[in-house]
Amino acid sequence: MRTLIENIEFILTVDSEDRVLTRASVVIENDRIADVGPATEVAKRTPRHSVDAVIDASRCGMTPGFVDSHVHLSETLSRAVFPDNLATRAWVFHWAKPFYANVGGRDEVVGALIGMAEMLRCGTTCFLDMGAQNDVAGVVRAIREVGMRGVTGRHACDVRPEKVPAGWTGEMMAHHFFPDAKTALKELEATVRAHHGAAGGRVRCWVNIEGKEPCSLELHVGSRALAERLGVGTTYHLATSIEEAKVSENKYGVWPVSRIANAGGLGSNLVIAHCVAVTDEEIGRMAKAGTMVAFCPATSVKLAKGATRIGKYPEMIEAGIRVGIGTDGVSAGGNLNLMRQMYMVAGMFKDSRMDSTLVGARKALRMATIEGAQLLGWDSEIGSIERGKKADFVLFDLDHFEWVPYGDALQAVVYSASPASIAQTWVDGKPLYKDGRVQTLDEAALRREARERAAAVVKRAGLSLRHMPTVSTTYD
């Protein structure tokens, strides 16, 4: 199947030179980009009689598909359930854990499906999911069904709190907490071997763990070593808040990243999620090891993590650390709109440090595309619009009010546009979102089921301000 998309008003290629093509065309052959360039040149190389379909995109702009570097598909049924006066540790231990304790296998699959539908509507074509809380196979089937590209895994930790918080069920504890790191790693290896490369290679499986206090040093270090042996990556939460850093310092004499680094746990196949509380010395050690970071701006704002006050993301970028951006779960970041994260990361450090040269639109788009793909080890196939790469891209409707008028396409994408002006989202050479709907799902039925299941989970969990703490001393 050969498709010609012709006369595209602009293409932000996000290639090594950040080329911007105007009045351009793209030829898609099956799942890959066979040609891209000025429309007149592509027309000479590809006569119309040699293609199966022609799409006139004369009032459209194209970008690579967005790559979400950190998301929790299992949390999608918790949207706007947790209060907004929670810091990170109370959010996790007294709200998220009880929520997860009451999420069943079908709940998780529905959450993943509704989350992927939202992603496609927002231009996201690939993601790094922290992993299933219940049934990895169910989440893998959901990704296959929808047609997206993504990394997932299995939730794991091995350090139980001395005092178990309210809402943590025995069933959840038995499933989430392994008796030791060795047992956890054995199960994680089996999970990777069972699911890595599913859906014709669109699904990858990593050695993912929760990270932080619920995971031993042995599990942190061992997960990365196991991932290296299996030829995959690993990701976990670390240095997520100053509170976590202080707990680590009180217990072990060092901040979280230093603790992992001192044990030889850093490496080029590790993606640290959040990574707010770090020192300049730790940044140097991460850069030397090739360790990468998934930054979630909206979560930092909602949970008061302090990205603009203590965060050192511009310093990480300057040091050569690859930093991607993520939406996190909907209850932490608000939604799965990666364009919101682009907008925030492009400008938040400009404002907080009163330096208009920091980050900016070009870097933000790269973090959401090619550099996000680098975090996932997928940059040879996705993340930019180039000949030979997978046909994963977004088409914007330039007749939408957000684009009338516009000058610089790059600035318009990052600062002016939103998912409201997305016309189509393609993955693997297929338009998964077009004509106002996700093509592979019955969204109306899915939404009805999601509402019903979300209400039932919240009721079972007993989540309410009257019963759940807003501060935490768990793992202190």
What is the mean predicted confidence (pLDDT) over 245-252? 96
Model confidence at 467, in pLDDT bands (50, 70, 90)? Answer: low
Dist CA 145 CA 476 (whole Å):
43
Residue 77 is encoded by which pair of tokens? 């049924």
Residue 469 is encoded by which pair of tokens? 């703490």
What is the mean predicted confidence (pLDDT) over 311-339? 98
pLDDT tens digits along 1-45: 999 999 999 999 999 999 999 999 999 999 999 999 999 999 999
Does 110 share its domain with 249?
Answer: yes
Does 48 share its domain with 164?
Answer: no
> How many CA atoms lie within 13 Å of 375's alpha carbon, on the beta-carbon side?
31
Torsion 262-267-269-274 (CA) sign: positive
Does residue 465 register a pLDDT over 80?
Answer: no
Dist CA 265 CA 252 (whole Å):
16
Q: CATH code at 269?
A: 3.20.20.140
- The 8 Å CB, 24+ separation contacts for 247-250 are 247/213, 247/475, 247/476, 250/476
Q: Which residues are within 8 A (CB) of 351 and not within 5 positions of it... i.e. 6 or more apart?
A: 308
At residue 279, the 3 state secondary structure works out as: coil
Dist CA 419 CA 327 (whole Å):
14
Residue 4 is encoded by which pair of tokens? 């010609």
Residue-range definition of the domain harbouring residue 370? 66-375
| Residue 457 included in any domain | no
Does 184 share its domain with 60?
Answer: no
Average pLDDT, the chain: 96
Model confidence at 398, in pLDDT bands (50, 70, 90)? Answer: very high
| Residue 461 included in any domain | no
- For tokens 């047609």, the residue is 147
What is the mean predicted confidence (pLDDT) over 122-132? 97
Does 14 share its domain with 110?
Answer: no
Does 310 share its domain with 422?
Answer: no
Dist CA 318 CA 316 (whole Å):
5
Dist CA 270 CA 292 (whole Å):
6
| Residue 19 included in any domain | yes
| Residue 456 included in any domain | no
Does 204 share its domain with 253?
Answer: yes
| Residue 464 included in any domain | no
Does residue 326 register a pLDDT over 90?
Answer: yes
| Residue 338 included in any domain | yes
| Residue 16 included in any domain | yes
What is the mean predicted confidence (pLDDT) over 363-367? 98
Q: Which residues are within 8 A (CB) of 451 and not within 5 positions of it... i.e. 6 or more apart?
A: none
Does 425 share its domain with 336?
Answer: no
Dist CA 25 CA 38 (whole Å):
6
The reported pLDDT for the residue numbered 313 is 98
Model confidence at 222, in pLDDT bands (50, 70, 90)? Answer: very high
Q: Which residues are within 8 A (CB) of 44 and not within 5 positions of it... i.e. 6 or more apart?
A: none
Does residue 466 register a pLDDT over 80?
Answer: no
Does 74 share its domain with 106?
Answer: yes
Dist CA 466 CA 476 (whole Å):
24
What is the mean predicted confidence (pLDDT) over 60-67? 99
The reported pLDDT for the residue numbered 468 is 74
More confident residue, 209 or 476: 209
- Looking at the chain, the whole-number percentage of residues with pLDDT higher than 70 is 99
Does 96 share its domain with 179?
Answer: yes
- Looking at the chain, the whole-number percentage of residues with pLDDT higher than 90 is 95
Of 336, 441, 333, the C-alpha closest to 109 is 441
Q: How many domains are there within the chain? A: 2
Dist CA 138 CA 465 (whole Å):
32
What is the mean predicted confidence (pLDDT) over 420-431? 98
| Beta bridge pairs of residue 237 | 211, 273
Does 181 share its domain with 211?
Answer: yes
pLDDT tens digits along 106-115: 999 999 999 9
Q: Which helix (H) or strand (E) holds 136?
A: helix 136-146
Q: CATH code at 17?
A: 2.30.40.10
| Residue 471 included in any domain | no
Chain-centroid distance of CA 73 in Å reads 9
Does 14 share its domain with 55?
Answer: yes
pTM of the model: 0.97
Model confidence at 269, in pLDDT bands (50, 70, 90)? Answer: very high
The reported pLDDT for the residue numbered 463 is 87
Does 333 share its domain with 282?
Answer: yes
Residue finishing a domain among 325, 340, 375: 375
Is the Cβ–Cβ distance between 400 and 421 less than 8 Å? yes
Q: For the beta carbon of residue 262, count every other beta carbon within 10 angstroms.
A: 14
Residue finishing a domain among 343, 375, 407: 375
